[in-house]
Each structure stands twice: as structure tokens, then as C-alpha cells.
Amino acid sequence: MRKLSVFQGFSRTLIFAAVLSILSIVAAAPCAAQNPDRKGADSQAPATQKPADSQKPDDDQGPAGTVKVNVNVVGLFFNVKDKHGALIPNLTKDDFQVFEDGALQTIKYFAAESNLPLTLGMLIDSSGSQRNVLDMEKQVGGAFLRQILTDKDEAYVIDFNVDAELVQDFTRDVHRLQAAMNKVKINTGYVTGPLPGAGGGPVPTANSPGTVLYDAVYLSAHDMLAKEVGRKAMILLTDGEDQGSRLKIKDAIEAAQKADTICYVLLIADRGFYGFGGYGGDSAMKKLTEQTGGRVIEVGNKPDKLKQAFDQIGQELRSQYNIGYTPTNGKRDGSFRKIEIRAKGGEYKIQARSGYYAMPRKDQ
């Protein structure tokens, strides 16, 4: 296992320069090289896609990656639910409108996708606060991977506490993924001492951060997923508490948006651990998931709730719609563009990312 930080990349061929010390420079740094064993994506902004096949750009049934166009298009994977939270299938292009910064866009393609290849990152919080729930996460998380992954999909495992470790690189082998999860241990960056209200337990040492959650999300998006194409998602098993990250939640969100990655958070909190200090890790996690098209699912410390949460995520990932449009604003100035998908008629809830960054193309 390799220890990682915001100054050290995950990929095999590139390590972040140690001289980077300004967070804004770190957040804007080019995507690190991906695993050399995998097919590389075209070097372009992850929020946009440059499909490459022989269909016409106005073929509304062509999904991202199969429509040949001479301009960049913005592609979105999203879910549609009714007022009770049930997924709505069998909708068509005519059921939706797409707006960018308030301007109506012309939909170029639309499809209901359930079997496109999936790239999945599993991020496991192994800080001291998770000591009573980590074994449950390993068992139920491993079962989820065996259920969700097909021979077209790949996944990786990241362990984070006082630092971040890539414990399993991209693989289709669920046995290797399970073995990697089994290796995760509660970190040793803590000393045991009295914790008011909790009867003692792990507390941060004076010179050590506690849980570099935001750093882990940033690195997972920036180094692992930014150059992947197709459907991408991160699942975080955590209590949502960050302590000691070099980066902020906004940096983690921006990296995930630039990587076109959906973030799910399974909020696993053994609330008895927190004592009188209280628990408040859910606020930042809601920001992360809402702006990337995922959601927070409260699990507590119950195995049955964790299994239900994984089942819900699996259903959502296999019941996505894929919509694409060519932006009326063709400027690639690096600005953030807000996207809104509206359903015509019906009390539908759209679960989609909030926007994308119109980054300049690398070949221009």
C-alpha cells in the first residue's frame, strides 16, 4: 500500500511535485496520468465528451462515446424519481428540457443506460471514529462489489485516515478488491487517552491530522477518475468528519465535478463515539453529493441499513438516463456552468450534477 497526500499522486507514472504549496494551484493542476494498463481517454475537459463513432450528432439515441461530432458536447448521467423516491423508467427525450446558466439547450442525444461500463471508487474511512463499524463496512461493501460489478466494469479501493492509501488499483477482479478491503485497518496516527463522554478511546495526537477526507476525495477524482470515460462514481464509507485535510470541501467538489464523477456517501457514524462533542459530519457531505449528482444515505452502525443503502446505489447506477447537448455558450474559459434538467409534467425529482467547468481543450 502506498501512502498518499495532496502532494503525492495515486497513478503509477506521476507524483505530484512536493513544491506545490498553494491550494489553488493544486486544484487547477493537470490530471495525473492514469494506470498504464488501462485505455487512456482523450485529453480534454472531463465535463465534456468528444464522442467518436459514425452516427450523426442529431441521432438522439446515440449515447456519449458513440456519436461522432466535430464540436464538444456536454454529457450527463442522471436519475429520475417520483415524489416517493422510486426510480422512474421509460422516459424519452421529449420528457426533458436542459438549461445551461438559464439558457435552454438543444438535446443532441438521449438514452436510458443500464449496461454501460462503470468505473467505481470505494473510499473507506479508517480513522479512529470508525473502529466499531469497519468490519461491517468490509463485509457488506465486498458483497456489494460482487453484486454490482460486471466483466466490463472496474473498481479501486482507497483507505484514508491520517493520510490516504491506494490499497487496490483499477481491477475487474472482485477477489482482489475484497482482499484489499480486508487489509484496511484502523489507523495508528492516534494515541489512547480519555475522551469525555466516550469512556476513552482514540484521539488525535498533537501533530497529526485525524481524517483527510477532503484530500482523499480530491485525489480520487483528480488522479484516478479524471481521465476515465463513461460512467464514473465514488462511494464514500465515512462519518463525514474531516480533520486535517490540506484542501477544503469546495476543492473536493470541484475536482469531482471536473472528473464528471457522481459521489455517494454512506454516512456510517457510531454516534456513541463522539460523546459530548457531538457529531456534525453530514453537512459537508450533503454539499458534495448534491453538487455531483449523488446523495447521502444515513446508515448509522446497522448492517441491514448499510446493505439497503448499497442496494439503492446499485439500482440507481443501473437505471441512469444519459443526455447530451452542445452548449450555446461555446467559450472554453474555465468557468463553471450551471446545468438544470427539468422534467415536463409529473412530480419528478431529477438527481444530477449541478454543472461543469468549461475547460480549454488540451489540443488547442
The pLDDT, as a whole number, for residue 63 is 38
Nearest one of 182, 142, 189 to 161, comparing CA atoms:
189
Please list the alpha-helical segments (H only) found in the chain.
Answer: 23-28, 134-148, 174-183, 213-219, 249-258, 282-290, 303-317
| 167-191: pLDDT as tens digits | 999 999 999 999 999 999 998 564 4
| 7-40: pLDDT as tens digits | 454 443 333 333 233 333 333 444 333 443 454 4
Q: What is the phi/psi pair of residue 321, to 5°? A: -95, 155
CB 9 within 8 A of CB 223: yes
CB 189 within 8 A of CB 5: no
Q: Which amino acid is at 68?
A: K
3-state secondary structure at position 303: helix
Q: What is the phi/psi pair of residue 290, to 5°? A: -65, -35
User: Which grid cell sits at 1?
Assistant: 500500500
Express as a percent the part of the chain with pLDDT over 90.
63
The pLDDT, as a whole number, for residue 19 is 29
Q: Is the pLDDT of residue 200 over 60?
A: no
Instruction: With cut-offs at 50, 70 and 90, classify the pLDDT of residue 203.
Output: very low
Sort strands 355-357 and 336-343 into parallel, antiparallel or unpaired. Answer: antiparallel
CB 213 within 8 A of CB 129: no
- The pTM assigned to this predicted structure is 0.78
What does the alpha-carbon distance between residue 122 and residue 138 come to, in Å, rounded to a whole number? 11
CA angle (62, 64, 69) in 5-degree steps: 75
Q: Is the pLDDT of residue 212 over 80?
A: yes
What does the alpha-carbon distance between residue 284 and residue 3 come to, in Å, rounded to a whole number? 25
What does the alpha-carbon distance between residue 265 and residue 269 come to, in Å, rounded to a whole number? 12
Instruction: With cut-offs at 50, 70 and 90, classify the pLDDT of residue 71.
Output: low
Q: pLDDT higher for 291 or 193?
A: 291
User: Which grid cell sits at 272?
Assistant: 456513541
What does the alpha-carbon distance between residue 218 and residue 23 come to, in Å, rounded to a whole number? 12
